[in-house]
Amino acid sequence: MAHLRKTGDAVFSKVEKVNSELFSLTYGAIVTQLLKDYEEVDATNEQLEKMGYNIGIRLVDEFLAKAQISSCQNFSETAEVIAKVGFKMFLGVTAEVTNSNASEFSLQLTDNPLAEFVELPEQYSQLSYSNMLCGVLRGALEMVQMRVECTLTKDALWGDDVTELRVVLKELMDEEYKDDDE
Amino acid sequence: MAHLRKTGDAVFSKVEKVNSELFSLTYGAIVTQLLKDYEEVDATNEQLEKMGYNIGIRLVDEFLAKAQISSCQNFSETAEVIAKVGFKMFLGVTAEVTNSNASEFSLQLTDNPLAEFVELPEQYSQLSYSNMLCGVLRGALEMVQMRVECTLTKDALWGDDVTELRVVLKELMDEEYKDDDE
């Protein structure tokens, strides 16, 4: 998968970028606002995911245009492309793919640019702080005809060694149907 | 001020970065959420500024540590440092300083990474979409003993050629007093 790493590096070098700390503090401001609005963790987790979904359906165009990935042969290849090109292109870091099979995979992040400098206070220990990422993946994959469920299964903020997203393929959507619908 | 541009470029090349489009969509998600919460433009403008203030008081440390700027001789020099080093370090773009004197200056941005792909719907035509920037400047400057007022005076989203922030110095705060207070 060395060629995917190279593609990821090349694409990231070309895109416009902003400071990662500004991004993480801005993201933190959203999480804080949602906790204030929804007053509980589950609803905040859900809202972060929805927010990510709306971002994901918009980001996928830039991804397809700039990364110039030809379509993936199988779901395991999709996993590698997301890990080495997608994450690099948007967050500047790569993920490791683990437990991958024909319909599931996990993505592990050692560095998570969303959660730098963050600690969860005790009352928010169940918060899926980076749940926006799950939404982004769901939104982006839906735009390329893959309906997935994505959940945050490990989080450095929960004391885990890594932050891990589990992606499960639910349905390969029928492209022709979608075209008819338009 | 060519040396400041060089400093800005050098610092930006060293910091961790994320994709600018991801940042602008994430920022857009905040603005949308606040409009939903506060249901009116003035309160949203105010909240964006407060959010920026909290970010600014945290960002200033990274700025001072990484940019290694010795203290500014006067407010006009402060303006140039913000425009050429601060904006570059955090947003990847530089600003132009205009109408600068001993206690006021304006910063003009041709490219505004917060507002890419944004259009204001008619009912939000008075929205100071990028008001977070005003807050960031107020927060960061307060940490170096300058109490300022900062307002968004032009915005490409309002149809102006540039996005412009006006910064007015209200008070040079007494550093010793602050130390006593701690």
Answer yes or no: do A25 and B91 touch at CB < 8 A: no
pLDDT value at residue A56: 98
The identity of residue B3, as a single letter, is: H
Query: What band does B121 get if pLDDT is binned at 50, 70 and 90?
Result: very high
- Residues in B closer than 8 angstroms to A25, CB to CB, are 54-55, 58-59
Answer left, alpha or beta for residue A169, where phi above 0 means left and psi between -120 and 50 means alpha.
beta
Report yes or no: B137 and B131 within 8 Å, Cβ to Cβ: no
pLDDT value at residue B177: 53
Nearest CA in chain B to A47: B33
In angstroms, the CA A58 to CA A47 distance is 17
Looking at A83-97, A165-179, B14-28, which range is the least confident one? Answer: A165-179
CB pairs under 8 A between A and B: 104
From start to end of B82-131, where are the E strands? Answer: 96-98, 104-109
Average pLDDT, chain B: 94
pLDDT digits (tens, 9 = 90+) for B60-106: 999 999 988 878 889 999 999 999 999 999 999 999 999 999 999 99
Query: What band does A175 get if pLDDT is binned at 50, 70 and 90?
Result: low
Structure tokens at A13: 């070098």
pLDDT digits (tens, 9 = 90+) for A27-79: 999 999 999 999 999 999 999 999 999 999 999 999 999 988 878 889 999 99
Nearest to A112 by CA among A24, A16, A39, A14: A24
pTM of the prediction? 0.94
- Say which of A22, A37, A62 has its CB closest to residue B90: A22
Nearest CA in chain B to A91: B18
- Say which of B23, B34, B62 has its CB closest to residue A18: B23
In angstroms, the CA A171 to CA A61 distance is 21
Answer yes or no: do A33 and B29 touch at CB < 8 A: no
Query: What band does B176 get if pLDDT is binned at 50, 70 and 90?
Result: low
To test the contact with chain B by mutation, choose from A21, A36, A47, A119 the residue with the greatest count of B C-beta atoms within 10 A, namely A21
Query: What band does B181 get if pLDDT is binned at 50, 70 and 90?
Result: very low
To test the contact with chain B by mutation, choose from A22, A112, A131 the residue with the greatest count of B C-beta atoms within 10 A, namely A22
Report yes or no: A111 and A104 within 8 Å, Cβ to Cβ: no
Neighbours of A116 (CB within 10 A): 15
pLDDT value at residue A130: 98
DSSP reduced 3-state for A166: strand
pLDDT value at residue B157: 98
In angstroms, the CA A136 to CA B31 distance is 18
pLDDT value at residue A177: 53
Residue % of chain A over a pLDDT of 70:
96
Angle at the Cα of A56 from the Cα atoms of A54 and A58, rounded to 5 degrees = 75
In angstroms, the CA B7 to CA B94 distance is 12
Q: How distant is the Cα of A140 from the closest Cα of chain B, in angstroms?
A: 13
Report yes or no: B17 and A92 within 8 Å, Cβ to Cβ: yes
Enumerate chain A positions whose Cβ falls within 8 A of a Cβ in B. 12, 15-23, 25-27, 29-30, 33-34, 37, 51, 54-55, 58-59, 62, 89-92, 113, 117, 132
Angle at the Cα of B156 from the Cα atoms of B110 and B130, rounded to 5 degrees = 90
Nearest to A139 by CA among A95, A82, A85, A99: A82
